[in-house]
Each structure stands twice: as structure tokens, then as C-alpha cells.
Amino acid sequence: MGKRKTPALQQGIPAQSVLCSIRETQSMKSKKQTHTPFSAVVVARDEEHIIARCLQALLPVANEVLLVDSGSKDRTPQIAESLGARVLHTTWQGYAQTKNFANRQARHDWILSIDADEVLSEALQQSLQQWTARPHTAYALDRLTNYCGQWVRHSGWYPDWKIRLFDRREARWEGAFVHEYLHLPKGTEIIRLTGKLKHYSYKDEEDHLRRIERYARLSALQMLEQNRKPGRLKEILAPPARFIRTLLLKQGFLDGRLGWKLASRDALLVRRKYEWLRQLQNQKAEKKS
């Protein structure tokens, strides 16, 4: 989640295209900004396969692009610097805390929070160029996920509105191991922006399976910390229930064979989460005995 000679080639993008993109970005920056100033903040680790596409879409519209690297072993920070992003380094503190740290380092109070595997569409870029902040508001982006080359339009993956543009003085990320969420003051108005936030979720199916295992373990750790003790019957019924939910209730069948696959992977995640929880509970009991 061999190395090649240049950041441009690592991204599968011709070097000339990258240089043109940089020149276009610099040209746009020389023009007077008409939108409310904001910082685009990206937290990344080992994302050299996608980070150029992410940043190249942000640089023309954001007043600052800040990449906070949490320990990459690849060329992610070098690629970001070569494209003109400001790069800082930190240790991984969990999703919420690392994002909060990154937001505090930004030069502007309004934050556009983007994941390294997300790319602004042209329509969304235009929305941001015309955007003017309103008090006590936050802005949601219409995220559309690409799974191994296919756009997912059902299966509980879409529609997928994410609140990503906000005033850091009124918002903070919260959450423990997984599923961080943005905490906003009561009464905050949520406004939807036009355009897609394109999410390139997994490099391949093996990447998906690795992340399922990781998220399952993190979810189990969170359940253990909360002292949750699901019964054996729930452990048995929860995976097929999730499969049915994704395939039928979330209309995964409209995604065809892909919907069936995603429903199966959702069920696998639930099953592995409970298997991890039982293993962790047994380890905890053994330590006490």
C-alpha cells in the first residue's frame, strides 16, 4: 500500500504531462483567487501509485496543498514536494488524531480534507473555484468509488456524501481505531457541492483482502476496548445478514457480478471481525488466568 526513476513515471504519467501540469498550476496561482481561501490537507503513507493524481487535481484550486506523511517507505513525500505541495512528517497516531494534527498545521482555517486515493473531478474543481464560505456551515462532497477499474453505483457504496470542507475552528475528527467521523457543532448547515470526488479505493483485489484483514482486526480491538461481547448466534448470523443487506437492501444486484463480489467481501469482513474478537478475548482471558 521495482522503483522507477522519476515521480512522473511512477504514476504512469508522462514526465512532460507532469511538467505541463505544474506550469498550469503556477499560472492559475498567479491569477486572483475569487473563492474563500482554504488549505487542502492530505494524510498519506506509501501512496506513490496515486498521490500525483490526487495532488495535481488539488493544486489548481487550493490556496495551499499540505501533505502530512505518516512514515512512507516509498517516494510519496518526494513526489509531493516535486509537484509543489508543502510536506510535513509525523508518526501515525490513528486516523482521527493524525488528521487533527494535520489540520492544525494548515495555513488557512478552512480545510478541504482529502484522502490520498481521492481525485477531484473537473466539475468539483469548478465548484471549489466558485465557492464562498458561509458561517456555521460545512460542505459535503459526492464520492464515487472505483473498484479495480469499475465504478460502483450501488451496493451501499454510492451515493456516498462525505463532509470534507469545513472550518477547523468549529470541527474536529473523532473516533478510535477505525471509522473516524467529523464532529460539528449542533445546528451546522451541511451544503452539497456539485461534482464528483473520485475514489480509487484499491490497487487490486489482493489489496482489498489485505485491508479487510486490517480493518477486521482494528474493529475487533475497538470492540474489545468497549467490552462488547456478542453472542455466538450473532457471530453466525451477522456475516450472511451483511451479504443480504449489501446485495438486496443496498441494491448490489444492480452492480451485477461486481455487486455479488462486494457483498461477499462485506460478509468476509464481518466474519473476520468476530473471529479476531474471539481470539483477542481468549488472549485476554489467558493473561488473567
Is there a contact between 95 and 175 (Cβ–Cβ < 8 Å)? Answer: yes
- If one counts every other C-beta atom within 10 angstroms of the C-beta of residue 121, the result is 17
- Strands in the chain per DSSP E: 39-44, 64-69, 86-89, 110-115, 118-120, 137-147, 150-152, 161-167, 172-174, 181-183, 189-202
At residue 286 the predicted structure's pLDDT band, cuts being 50, 70 and 90, is confident
Span 160-213, pLDDT tens digits: 999 999 999 999 999 877 778 999 999 999 999 999 999 999 989 999 999 999
Relative orientation angle of helices 232-244 and 257-288, to the nearest 10 degrees:
160
Per-residue pLDDT at 175: 85
Per-residue pLDDT at 279: 94
pTM: 0.83
Structural domains in the chain plus CATH codes: 7-202 (3.90.550.10), 205-288 (no CATH)
User: What contacts 229, CB < 8 A, 6 or more positions away?
Assistant: 281
Per-residue pLDDT at 34: 63
Span 112-157, pLDDT tens digits: 999 999 999 999 999 999 999 999 999 999 999 999 999 999 999 9
Please check the confidence at residue 284 and state whether its pLDDT lies above 90. Answer: no
Per-residue pLDDT at 188: 98
Please check the confidence at residue 242 and state whether its pLDDT lies above 80. Answer: yes
**Mean per-residue pLDDT for 82-93?**
97
Phi and psi angles of residue 77, each rounded to the nearest 5 degrees, phi first: -65, -35
